[in-house]
Amino acid sequence: MEQEEKLEQTPEEKFREMNLEDFKDLSSAPRRRAREAALIAAFHMEVGGGDCEQALGWFEALGLTPENQVFAQRLVENAAQDKEHVDAILAKYARGWQVSRFAGVDRCILRLAVGEMLHPIDTPATIVINEAIELAKKFSAADSASFINGILDSVYAHEFTPTGESEPE
């Protein structure tokens, strides 16, 4: 019965359940954990109306190394500073969807990924896309991973490669 209730939760409800007392479910891989922390911060700012400083203050509590705190902070700041530009890019490839109608978690994942592609840190765009898909699988609805994959693949192909070809390996 309890299992059925968890399946019926919206992505936002599922995400809100994860809090500072329950981050044992975050990845043990340091870089992925940083992305998950960035998603928590971005979601807090988007849905909870929190400010960036408060959200970024969680990174140490979430067990991030200083290096990964900086990485997560850059992800959040890049997505936040370019929000209008990122949303315009997303709207261009969402095919009939308004960005404001995306699930909050999906919107945050997409903004983080496109923000990272706009301001490359040290991760190839193909890895950024894969990491976004993994975040969606973990934190969002069952069909969100394919939705996010489709949008990010289009964004990457048309906005970040001159010929639409894949990034060199």
pLDDT tens digits for 62-101? 778 889 899 999 999 999 888 999 999 999 999 888 999 9
Record: fold of 29-159: N-utilizing Substance Protein B Homolog; Chain A (1.10.940)
Cα distance between residue 37 and residue 66, in whole Å: 13
The owner of tokens 């894969």 is: 130
Q: What is the CA radius of gyration of the chain?
A: 15
Cα distance between residue 168 and residue 146, in whole Å: 23
Burial of residue 126, with CB atoms counted within 10 A of its CB: 0-12 exposed, 13-18 middle, 19 or more buried = middle
The residues of the chain scoring below 50 in pLDDT are 1-6, 11-12, 15, 20-21, 164-169
Specify the pLDDT at position 20.
46
Q: Are 35 and 75 in contact (CB under 8 A)?
A: yes
Specify the pLDDT at position 60.
75
pTM above 0.85, yes or no: no
Distances in Å between the Cα of 144 and the Cα atoms of 91, 103, 110, 161 are 16, 9, 11, 24
> Could you tell me the residue ranges of all domains in the chain?
29-159
Specify the pLDDT at position 64.
85
